[in-house]
Structure 1
C-alpha cells in the first residue's frame, strides 16, 4: 500500500516507524489497526477503553485470512473469485480478491491461505494478467513457501490440447516451493459451475476447520457499494426478444455476417463497452434426428440432463454438446466400445487430435458403435452444451434497453459432410425477429475504455471490430475528447467492410480521428491489419508516447500473434529497443492496462 506522509504532523522518526509498519501489512491487519485507532480517538479522551480495543481485536484475530488470486482472460475466473470471497465471510474466513496483475510478489511468503483461480489460453499460455505472476513463481526469486496452505481451480476447454495447463503449472510450482494443498486442484471444462461450487465449498470448509473459525467474518468496511444485480445470470438467463436480425455482409461476399439486436426491456441487465453476451444456442434438429436414427432411438426416452427429467431429443437439442469431440469423451467411448483400434488411437494424443479435427458425435458413433448403449449412458458421456460468447457491439448509453452483437455464420465441409457452427448457424438460419434467445451479460474488466481524455488505438479485423463500434458509440455519448484510431481488415472492400457507413460518418464528424483498412483479397498480395500497423509505425509510436491505449480483438491463433509481432517491431524500430526491451515495453503497457486483448 502507498501512504502520503508529506503533510503528516508526525516527526521524521515517527514517520519512518509508521512507514515500516505499513510496509507489507495485510488487509486484515489494516482493518484491525483502523478499528484500534478509531477507538483511541473516540470520546475525545485520547484513550481507548478495554472494551473498545477488545471489540477491534476479536473479529479480526478470529478470522483466518484467505487471499484469492485470479488470472482471467474473459472474466470467468474473476467472477468465481468474487463468489469465493463472498461466501468466505459466512464461514468466518476473511477473504480478499486480487488480480494477479496487481499482486505484490513479496507478499506471497506472508500469506496464510491462498486460492488460485486461473484460465488457460492459446497453446497452454497464462492469460495476459497472469504473465508476471507465472514468471515470478517459476523464476529464481520465488520464495520457499513451507507455511502456505493453498488450492488451485483451473479453467479450460478439453477440446484444446493443453487443457488447464496454467492452473496445473501453478499447482505443481506451489507444491515444489513447499506449500501444502488444502484441497486438491480441480480442472474445469466449459461446464464449470458444479465443479467450481464443490471446490469453493471444500476450500472454505477446510480453512474454517483448520483455523477453528466459526463466527461470520467482519464485512470489509472499505468495500465499495455494489451496483444493483439483475435477477438474470448465466444460471438464470434472460429470454431476450430479437428486434433485428440483419445481413451485414454485402452482395458477393463469401461470408455471412449478421447484425443482431436484442431487447433487454425490464431485464435489469446492464453492460459496458468491452463486455460480452453469453448466448445459449440450440443444436441443429437435423443433426439430432440423424443421431437418433443412427442409434435406433425414437428420442422420447426419458433421461436426466438438467437436474430434471427431459426427453432424449430435448437433451441432445438443448443441453448436450454433439458437434465437438474431446479427449475425455474419446477415452470414455473407447472403454465402452472395447475396441483395440480405438484404444490405440486414444493412447496417441497426436493421432487422436488429428482424427477428432472436423468430426463430431455422429462420426464417432458410426466409426465405433457401442452395442446396447442406453440413452442415459449417452447423455452422461456428453458434456453440457456451453453458451457462446459474443463481443457486444453497442453502448448501452446509446441504445438503452438493447444489446447488439455481430455474428459470422460458420459453415464448412469436412470428412464428406457439411458442418456448421452451433450458435452462429442457429442465429443466422433458424432465429427470426420476434423469437427469443436465452442470454446473460459476461463482464470483461480486462477490455475497458480509458479516461475520456486518453487516445485509443483499436485493431479489429472481421467481427473483431464489434467492441470498437461500442467504444465509439460510448465516446460519442460521453463527448470524450480522446482521439480514436481504428485499424480494420477483412477480405474485400465492396462486400466485407462491416459497418462502413457508421465508420465513415464518425470519420467525417471527427469522432474517428484515423481509419486505416486492409482488404486481403483485393490485390494479388495478401494485406492484413499488421501491415497497416507497420506502414504507420512512426504515428503508432507517437500515439503510444502520448499515452494511447491499444486494443486488439479477434482471432487468437494467427491475427493476435501477428499484430503482437508488428508492435514489437514498431517498438524496436521507432523506440530503438532491443527484442527483450520491446517485449518488456509491451508487457508494461499490459500492466498499465494500456494493451488489452479480447482474442478467441
Structure 2
C-alpha cells in the first residue's frame, strides 16, 4: 500500500493500491522500469531486463555486525539494479556451496591479529586449508573491513581474495580494504562491483544509509553513526571498593527523545574526544601553537587544536601512521624500522608507544600543521557492551567500563574513551552515542531455554542485561553466571544485584572466581571444570553458552575448559568433544563477544 505521505489524493492512492494488488512480481518489476525510464515502453524493459536473470550471492563474515549490515545494504542495492540477490552468512554455508554460485560479493571483517570473525572461523579454515572445490565459473569481488591500528589490516579479506583467485574464480573488480570509516570506500566498491557483474544494469553511485531508527525521534531527527545522539549522563558510580587496583565505572545514559533502541547483547558506541594533555603533548612535539588552520575531511577548515581534540586519532601508533610520518620527515632511521626484514623490531618499537613518541623520535625538528594533520586517521568511536535491559530501564542505557591507565617507557598512558567518560564527563553532561546491533550475541528465542554465562571483569556487562531482561519477561528459564575478578572485597561487580536476582529466582546459579584471594590463581575456567558434571547436564538440556571479555587469554582458556568438560562428562575422545563444541557454535548455542 502507498504511504499516506505519498503525493496522491486519497482516491488516487486507493486506485494505485488496487492496481498494484493485481500484479505479480515480474509485472511490478517491469512497471518500475517503465516509470523510471519516463514512460517509454520501448526502452524501459531493455534497460532492466538483462540483469533480472543474474543471480548474485552476497557472502559475509562479521564480528560486530558491520559486515552483515553492509551485506544487507548490498543485496538491497543489487535488487534495485535488477539482480536476484541473496545474503548468506559464512556460518550457515560450506565452501562446497560456492561451486553452485556464479556471481559473488564477499564482505568480511578481520578481528584481532589477522583472524577471521568468530562466526566465520569454521568456513574460513575449511575454505583456506581443506577445500578442493574448483570455481572456474565464479565471478567475484571482495570488500574487506579492518582497522589500520592493527598490523594485519584487512588480512581475512585479503586471504579470501587470494584463495578465490587460486581456485579459479575471476575477480571482476579490485578488492577494497576499508578502515573503521568504511562507508565511502564501501559505496565506491559496491557500485564498481555491481557494474562489473552486470554491465547492462543502470549505473549510479550507491547511497549508503544507516539502519532506520526503531522509533520516531523527537523533532524528526534521525540519530545514528552519522549523527550521534547527545545523551545526558544520568549517573556514574565507581564499582570497585577502596583498596582495589582497578577502576571500573557504571554509567547510566539517557536515550529519551533519541529514537534509538537496543536489545540485550547489543553495544553502545561512544564518540569520545581526546584529553587536553594529549593534545598539548602532540602540539609540543610538533612545535606548533595549535592556532593553525588545517583541513579535516568531511568537516572543512578547522583550528588545529580543535581538530586534534575532536576529529583525529592522535594516539594509536600503526604502521600506516609511521609510513606517513617517514614520508614527511625523511627519517632514515624510521625507514629502516619499516623495512620488510624489520617486522619484529617494528613491533617492539610500537609496544606501549603513542604517535607523540614517534614524532619526538623521528621528526624532532617539528612538523608543519598540514603535514601533522595528514598522518592521522579519524578518531573512531568505541563500542561497549550494553549492561542494561530496555525492559528494566526504559529510556536508558547502561555501561560497565574499566578506565585504562598504565605506564610505558616512563610515561603515563590512558585509554581515550574510557578516561573521557571517567575524567571529562560530569553527571548531567552530554555524551555523543548511538546503538550498534550485534545479532551474533542474542538470548534464546524461548525464555524457557537454560542459559550459561561466563563474564569475568567488565565482561559481565551484557549478562547483567540478559538476567534483567529474562526476569522482566517473566517465567525465566534457568540462568547460570560464572563471574571472576581479582578480589572479592573490592572487585565483586554488581554484587548486591546478583544476590537480589538469586533471591528473586531470576538467577539460578552463581559461581565466582577471585584470582588474588588465595595463593593459587583461580579463574572462571577453573570453576567451570569444578562444576563440569552439572554444566554438561545443562548443555544436554539445550542450554546456550555465552562468553564475554578478554580475547587474548580468557576466551581461549574458557573454550578449552568447555571442550574438556564435554570430553570428560560425555566420555568422548578429544576430536569428538571438539566437534560437539563446534556444533554448538553452528547451532548458535555457543556465542562469544570478546575483545
* Residue 430 of structure 2 is aligned to residue 439 of structure 1: no
Change (3 A) 1:67 1:391: same
Q: Give every structure 1 segment of 4 or more consecutive aligned residues whose post-TM-superposition deviation is greater than 4 Å.
A: 58-61, 225-230
Alignment of 1:334-483 (within 5 A): 334-347=326-339, 348-369=342-363, 371=365, 373-450=367-444, 451-483=446-478
Task: Report the secondary structure of 2:561's partner residue.
Answer: helix
Q: Tell me whether 133-142 or 559-568 shows the greater mean CA deviation.
A: 133-142
* Number of residue pairs the alignment of both structures matches: 539
Change (3 A) 1:155 1:590: same
**Distance across 2 between alignment mates of 1:472 and 1:407:** 19
**Distance across 2 between alignment mates of 1:545 and 1:283:** 49
Q: Tell me whether 59-68 or 467-476 shows the greater mean CA deviation.
A: 59-68
Residue 85 (structure 1) shift: 1.9
Q: Which runs of 5+ in 1 are unaligned?
A: 1-33, 39-54, 217-224
CA contact (8 A) 2:213 2:261 kept: no
CA contact (8 A) 2:195 2:201 kept: no
Residue 60 (structure 1) shift: 8.8
Give 1:526's match in structure 2, choosing from 511, 516, 521.
521
Change (3 A) 1:590 1:256: same
CA offsets 1:489-547 (integer angstroms, 9 cap, x no match): 00010110000010000011111110000001111111100010000010111000000
* Corresponding residue of 2:152: 162
**Distance across 2 between alignment mates of 1:448 and 1:163:** 28
Q: Tell me whether 338-347 or 66-75 shows the greater mean CA deviation.
A: 338-347
* Residue 483 of structure 2 is aligned to residue 488 of structure 1: yes
CA contact (8 A) 1:516 1:532 kept: yes
Q: Which runs of 5+ in 2 are unaligned?
A: 1-23, 29-44, 205-211
Give 2:310's match in structure 1, choosing from 295, 307, 318.
318
* Residue 506 of structure 2 is aligned to residue 511 of structure 1: yes
**Distance across 2 between alignment mates of 1:238 and 1:226:** 12
* Corresponding residue of 1:6: none
Task: Report the secondary structure of 1:358's partner residue.
Answer: coil
CA offsets 1:278-307 (integer angstroms, 9 cap, x no match): 111111111201221232222122212142
* Residue 245 of structure 2 is aligned to residue 257 of structure 1: no
* Corresponding residue of 1:561: 556
Change (3 A) 1:538 1:152: same
CA offsets 1:258-297 (integer angstroms, 9 cap, x no match): 1101110111101000000011111111120122123222
* Corresponding residue of 1:172: 162
**Distance across 1 between alignment mates of 2:475 and 2:135:** 48
* Corresponding residue of 1:24: none
CA contact (8 A) 1:92 1:208 kept: no
Residue 125 (structure 1) shift: 2.0
**Distance across 1 between alignment mates of 2:582 and 2:395:** 37
**Distance across 1 between alignment mates of 2:216 and 2:483:** 35
CA offsets 1:190-228 (integer angstroms, 9 cap, x no match): 23232222222222232231xx12399xxxxxxxx9956
Task: Report the secondary structure of 2:258's partner residue.
Answer: coil
* Corresponding residue of 1:9: none
Please give the root-mean-square deviation of Cα atoms over the aligned residues, in Å: 2.2
CA contact (8 A) 2:287 2:366 kept: no
Residue 61 (structure 1) shift: 6.6
Q: Tell me whether 590-599 or 103-112 shows the greater mean CA deviation.
A: 103-112
Residue 339 (structure 1) shift: 2.1
CA offsets 1:395-425 (integer angstroms, 9 cap, x no match): 1111111000011000001111101000001
Change (3 A) 1:522 1:73: same
CA contact (8 A) 1:208 1:214 kept: no
Residue 313 (structure 1) shift: 0.8
Task: Report the secondary structure of 2:264's partner residue.
Answer: coil
Alignment of 1:10-409 (within 5 A): 62-103=52-93, 105-209=95-199, 212-214=200-202, 231-307=222-298, 308-347=300-339, 348-369=342-363, 371=365, 373-409=367-403
CA offsets 1:136-193 (integer angstroms, 9 cap, x no match): 3224544211111111111222333332221111111100011111211122222323
